[in-house]
Structure 1
């Protein structure tokens, strides 16, 4: 499968790309996870958006949040893969690409994320380490995790 990775600022996203991103986020975070929350949080406009496509179909996505917007550190958020394409390593691919993008955009700075606890082992396998206590966010258990670049 020949995958295409796209890294865009908000203003660089086409209408079609933005629609596909918002649709996938809604499909997974609102419908599949049965979580009523306001996904459109006024942060997207300040983020970079990393998308993985196959033949113009969005398969996986995350956003890269600059330091000071969600946390004091740079963050990766809204990590999602299309339900029809799970089990193909797309979550790992989008996260590997996101870590690389963070490095290219911001240097060797720590990266923070709020992980759903069911995905703890996945993020640990990427080099993230838990920090703090488990907390409830919109009815789903989360824990903050931090990635430190090796120096």
Structure 2
């Protein structure tokens, strides 16, 4: 079942679910958002669908805004931002596949969805580091959220990335 919570703007909804709990329309729209961003816009050379979304410990998070016909048709909103949270074999956490719809960028959705992902990792495994392979041009943006760079730039899917880690503060 999809868990929803309201963000301060009541038109926005933060959603979280495993793949099995997502209705087919929403799952399609999430896959389309990732396709639009990674395959079409950024021309990634590796496939987006890598099987990790299906792992039982994977959580997908997304922000929905109401579509123009959502209420009249009884549909949920349209996803504008997405991220997935994975648990690695060593117990550490990994955040990836962050995508924000092109026309919604610079509206704070990236920061909101990343903050929600970090909050989830704090609930699931607060003692564990959180890894990302952030796109290199966003390195400073991630550093502003508390990530530290832990290695050199590398190519993934034909795009420059940098390995980064976030450590939750301890009391």
TM-score, normalising length from structure 2?
0.83
Bigger mean CA offset, 30-39 vs 125-134: 30-39
Match of 2:72 in 1: none
The answer to whether 1:106 aligns with 2:115 is: no
The answer to whether 1:86 aligns with 2:105 is: yes
TM-score, normalising length from structure 1?
0.94
Taking the TM superposition and a 5 Å limit, the aligned residue runs for 1:107-146 are 107-146=126-165
Match of 1:74 in 2: 93
Runs of 4+ with >6 A deviation = none
Of 7, 10, 13, the residue aligned with 2:22 is 13
> Alpha-carbon deviations, 1:89-148, whole Å to 9, x = none?
000000011100111122332100001100001100100000011111121111110000
Higher normalized strand content (fraction of residues): 1
Alpha-carbon distance in 2 for matches of 1:43, 1:10: 10
Unaligned runs of 5+ in 2: 1-8, 67-76
Match of 1:26 in 2: 35
The answer to whether 1:48 aligns with 2:67 is: no
Alpha-carbon distance in 1 for matches of 2:61, 2:82: 6
Q: How far is 1:7 from its partner?
A: 0.7
Alpha-carbon distance in 1 for matches of 2:79, 2:63: 6
- Partner of 2:43: helix, strand, or coil? coil
Alpha-carbon distance in 2 for matches of 1:72, 1:131: 18
Total equivalences in the alignment:
149
Structure 1 or 2, whichever has the larger Rg, is 2
> Contact between 2:45 and 2:158, CA under 8 Å: does it hold in 1?
no
